[in-house]
Structure 1
Amino acid sequence: MPTPLESLADSAEYQGGVWMLVEIDLGRIRPKSVRINISLPETMVRRIDSHAKAGHMSRSAFLAQAAREAIERAGRKP
């Protein structure tokens, strides 16, 4: 279990510091990648590759970003 903030704030070791609580979206931290096998029309793959290259991204990174944005637009967090 994490140490309660009150215990740390009262410690002489941490006097004079600034305390912040930060919410972290764990979905944005790079979890273990999982290999998948999908089939797409050849022209779609070419378009994906073109956009990925223009954005200095891999095909996988482009597809992950596109999926994340679509999910967020739909109002759901990944």
Structure 2
Amino acid sequence: MKHSILMSVILTTAISWTVLADDDKPAANTLKLSEVIKQLEQQGYNPIADVEFDDNKWEIDAWRGNDKRELTVDPVSGKILRDRDD
């Protein structure tokens, strides 16, 4: 359990740096990236492999079971708008 939490913190930090390097910037009313990731993990998406903020949406690659998924997530609600095979 401690290992899982530590890996989540490390991954979130690494992903945050990637997002900061992007030109698109989330609006002030968006959820924190850590909250979006927490919601996805609670829905069974783990590990999170890649995160990008583009066209005012989170684009996230994550695993669910043995399937790699490509997710599009609403940045305000955290709702998954699209979930497809990657």
Tell me the TM-score normalized by structure 2: 0.23
* Bigger strand share: 2
Greater Rg over alpha carbons, structure: 1
Larger relative CO (CA 8 A, sep 6+): 1 or 2?
2
